Amino acid sequence: MPIIVSAQPAASLERLQHLILCIAENAPDIGITKLEKLMYLCDFAAIEKLGKSITEDRYRNFQWGPVPKHFIPAYENLLANGKLRKEQITLRSGKPFVKLTAIANCSEDDFAKEEWDIIRGVLREYGHKSAAELVRLTHEELTWKLTERNEEIPEFLAHYRDYKKPSKEEIDRLVQDPDYLASVASQMAVS
């Protein structure tokens, strides 16, 4: 029987746990959905900028957006070891909410400088947003739109996360730009 070797590295539960703690420690009003979306934003920004994810995990298309494939074992391990606390609370709206609090601190040694830069940038830009806002944001990305429910999201899509179809005005400007038209014509010329 042949042995199949995956081209993708195995997820590092330790790195997943470090990122969970880092986000739980630094983002306000953190619950599971918000945590998962911030992890996705960190990992896919890292893929785009560094060529590899921070956690080495793969993401799947779930109902509320991208979710790390090995999130549950990493999360449950942190809870079991007393490094993360979850608390069931009721919001003013009457909805139940699982609030997460980091008990253990993340360390500067947990990630490389370039990874910290990405994590801090994601937390600055998105950490204050609600889970609902992050779900909407991730649902607008091609990574989620181009995959089916429960399907693994290919990492190469990280480079197209922010792709937006050009508006009619943008297309009209391009069509009127002689340099752009010359460039298109030269690319279409047959040698």
Q: pLDDT at position 142, please?
A: 86
- Per the structure block, which two tokens stand in for 121? 């940038």
What is this structure's pTM?
A: 0.80
Contact 60, 36 (CB under 8 A): no
Average pLDDT, the chain: 88
Strand runs labelled E in 58-161: 59-62, 65-68, 84-90, 96-102
What CA–CA distance (Å, rounded) separates 68 from 70?
Answer: 6
Amino acid identity, position 87? E
Length, in residues, of the chain:
191
| Neighbouring-strand partners of residue 87 | 99
Q: pLDDT at position 46, please?
A: 97
Q: pLDDT at position 165, please?
A: 67
Q: pLDDT at position 164, please?
A: 67
Contact 69, 170 (CB under 8 A): no
Q: pLDDT at position 127, please?
A: 97
Q: What residues in the chain have per-residue pLDDT under 50?
A: 1-9
Q: pLDDT at position 139, please?
A: 92
